[in-house]
Chain A
Amino acid sequence: MKPQLNEQQLNELAKDLDAIRDEVMADVGERDAKYIRRIIRLHRTLEIGGRVMMPFGFIPPVFAAAVASLGIAKIIENMEIGHNVMHGQYDWMNDPSLHSQTYEWDTVCTGDSWRRTHNYEHHTYTNVIGKDRDYGYAVLRLSDDVKWNPLHLFQFANYLMLSVFFQWGVGLHELESERIRRREIKLSDKKAFLKDFFRKGGRQAFKDYVFFPLLTFPVFPVVLAGNVSANLIRNLWSSTVIFCGHFTEDAETFSEASIENESRGQWYLRQLTGSSNFTGSKWVHILSGHLSHQIEHHVFPDMPAHRYREIAPRVEAICHKYGLKYNTGSFGRQYWTVLKRIGQFSLPDRVRARLPAQVA
């Protein structure tokens, strides 16, 4: 059942949320600059530490430490620095190395491609089936709006593959392979994209799988294995966090017709009900780039992310005021509902209808 608010309530909702936004944005300054610089120093330290330890990885505990150090460095860079900087959360600092439109992150997907598909498409058309290609990444069926076909039976295996090779999947997202298969567009339309994809993908593979292993030639298998592991850790963690953001039980989806001439209030409502949070310690929030506060992130995508923790109680109160579900729970519980959703929607509707706990 989709929440129904009348026009006056929607206007009030927009006003309440704008008030939080105005208050925080007026206060943004020194504290936020110090925060992100501290996180960047931590990233540089972990990355350097991981790279330096890696050649000594023939000693098992050193290998574990090096992989953890490099893996966490990549996670922090992708989630708390890259993703958030590219959203323009730190544009106000006027620091060219933290500028949303020129930042390039440590992953296969180019910054430009991400800015188009994520910042614009996903954040503008959040959970609108057919317009938000992040919904299931055109690989998974996660709502009724997509018609079932027998291939969906194997979507759990697809999901595992997507998680393991997540950075490559994200990198290829803009290729829109499903539209090429349906012959809506031609592969040659994507020439410019593919050129950038191979350049950036090549750069990432060169760094982790060629340059650093060769630099430490006698121990290259150790370094190669360590770098592969660090990338794998980052892939699994980031895909898990991202899946918990919109694919949990009760996260709403929308049709294209429903967003025509959408008001700011309706846009806010869609962001609130289409996203889901998970709880955790301070470090869980930092390592998830504060996507653990996906709801707050979707209402205020360009607010410095560490502020989400502080405003969350007020956003939750607003949800309750208008009778909206504030979708949150422990990391384990939220992830379990994601797995259930992937599993249940792999089944034909007739079978799914007979399952005991029905997913919306």
Chain B
Amino acid sequence: MLSTMNTRAPLRWLGKQLFNREDPGAFFDPLLAALNPMWVRGYVPARLQDVVDEARDTRSFHLRPSPRWQGFEAGQHVNIIVEANGVRHHRTFTIASSPRQWERDGSITLTIKRLPGGRITNWMHDNLRGGEIVGVSEAFGEFDLPEAEIPLLYIAGGSGITPVLSHLATLANRDFRAPVTLLYYVRSQADVIGAETLYALAARWPALTLKIFKTEEDGDGALLNDRHLDAVPGIRARQVYLCGPKGLMDLAGNLLSQFGIRESQIQSTFFSAPSAVAADTPLGGEVTFGKSSKSVESGGDAPLLEIAEAAELKPAYGCRMGICHQCSCRKTSGTVVNRLTGKPSGPGEETIQLCISVPQGPVTVDL
């Protein structure tokens, strides 16, 4: 009955009457979570099968989402829900495994690097072990595989390799015949993520040309440059996928345009856990109101409530002094400083009080 309560309309209506909530199935979650956390209805639970070291500061987390999870396309991301010190956190990660692996044994792999100063990636490395339960969202993102069999060029840097791993495994399974080149930039051999998978693919799949550049070990020539692109046969006809740190993506964009590659040929993505802003970042920043698709610049210590009102939005508010929580709403990204405590928030999705939250860098709120 619980599993149908969220799907069948009459039962859902009845559930709302009885339990006073929009997700009536989750009413029993507190009890179910105590009995078996894989039974909860409020989010899709996933059991961690194991956690293995992948590269320096990088681990692969093998997860089995509950059977009601709807699957994904190669190159997509999921939000992972973890609870640390009583607080629920959402972070976005790219699925590094192929959809075929999920179809075969119901598992997905997230390959996650410790971010310097990142609270949640470090917490996950230090605390998550096989057997634990986390939540997963449905997959999203549009770093899609090519529809036709055309020559491809992947340029990836650091942990930006994860969607590429999923793509390559999928293409190899399809027996993709057009040439595929991967230029992968890492600092050293110890930083190569998915090394085993990559070497195995290169060995058994003739279409793939794999080039790994170790910028710290191989000297200056290992940084992305026009010679690397020159060496890619028929580069102008290739569809290009970019994924890596911003510096690499910008550089690649410039070089590719010099090679006469049109922007429509390029797809790029970069998803890793956003890192908290540095403590000395000045207050203010660009505020984006997601629901009303408005965006305004703010400066100084103006709180979000005043910024929203100046932008002619009418959010609910009450005391305007941080006590009544009338103005609480969802922040989907960015850091805000609490005016009462002076403390900065985390960078992820969470609830904030508009009247005492001052943006520190770009912020997106659900208004």
Contact = CB atoms under 8 A, between A and B. Distances in A.
Contact of B323 (A22, A25, A123): A123
B30 A94 contact: no
A322 interface: no
Contacts of A30: 85-86
Contacts of B326: 101, 115-116, 119-120
B323 A94 contact: no
Contacts of A164: none
Q: Which of A96, A100, A115 has the most CB of B within 10 A?
A: A96
Given A44-B27, A94-B350, A203 B323 contact: no
A81 B49 CA distance: 35
B31 A97 contact: no
Given A37-B30, A302-B323, A94 B87 contact: yes
Interface in A43-82: 44-45
Contacts of A92: 86-87, 351
A93 interface: yes
Contact of A119 (B90, B324, B349): B324
Contacts of B314: none
B26 A203 contact: no
A302 B21 contact: no
Interface in B16-33: 16-18, 20-23, 26-31
Contacts of B350: 94
B325 interface: yes
Nearest to B345: A92
Q: Which of A86, A92, A105, A301 has the most CB of B within 10 A?
A: A92
Q: Size range of the interface on B?
A: 35 or more
Contacts of B206: none
A44 B28 contact: yes
Interface in A94-109: 94-97, 99-102, 104-106
B318 interface: yes
B281 to A, nearest CB: 22
B325 A302 contact: yes
Contact of B324 (A26, A45, A104, A120): A120
Contacts of A105: 20
A272 to B, nearest CB: 15
Contact of A124 (B27, B34, B86, B324): B324
Contacts of A211: 14, 17-18
A226 interface: no
Interface in B82-116: 83, 85-90
Interface of A is mostly: helix
Interface of B is mostly: mixed
Contacts of B258: none
B42 A123 contact: no
B124 interface: no
Contacts, number: 107
Nearest to A111: B20
Nearest to B88: A94
B331 to A, nearest CB: 10
B17 A206 contact: yes
A119 B325 contact: yes
Interface string B64-94: 0000000000000000000101111110000
B200 interface: no
Contacts of A94: 87-90, 349-351
A75 to B, nearest CB: 16
Interface string B19-59: 01111001111110010000000100000000000000000
Given A41-B34, A44-B28, A302-B323, A106 B20 contact: yes
A322 B277 CA distance: 42
Nearest to A82: B20
Nearest to A87: B325
A316 interface: no
Contacts of A41: 30-31, 34
B353 interface: yes
Interface string A161-178: 000000000000000000
Q: Which of B14, B18, B86 has the most CB of A within 10 A?
A: B86
Interface string B303-336: 0000000000000101101011110110000000
A88 B42 CA distance: 20
A167 to B, nearest CB: 13
Contact of B86 (A29, A101, A115): A29
A350 interface: no
B64 to A, nearest CB: 23
Nearest to A267: B321
A295 to B, nearest CB: 15
Contacts of A97: 21, 23, 26, 29, 42
Given A29-B85, A203-B17, A123 B30 contact: no
Contacts of A100: 325, 328, 351
A26 B340 CA distance: 12
A46 to B, nearest CB: 11
A39 B83 CA distance: 19
A250 interface: no
Nearest to B21: A104
B318 A124 contact: yes
Q: Which 7 A-B pairs give the minimum distances between C-beta atoms?
A: A33-B86, A88-B325, A120-B318, A94-B88, A104-B20, A29-B85, A119-B324
17 contacts: A29-B87, A34-B86, A41-B31, A41-B34, A88-B325, A91-B325, A91-B351, A94-B349, A94-B351, A97-B23, A97-B29, A101-B351, A115-B318, A119-B326, A124-B318, A206-B17, A302-B325
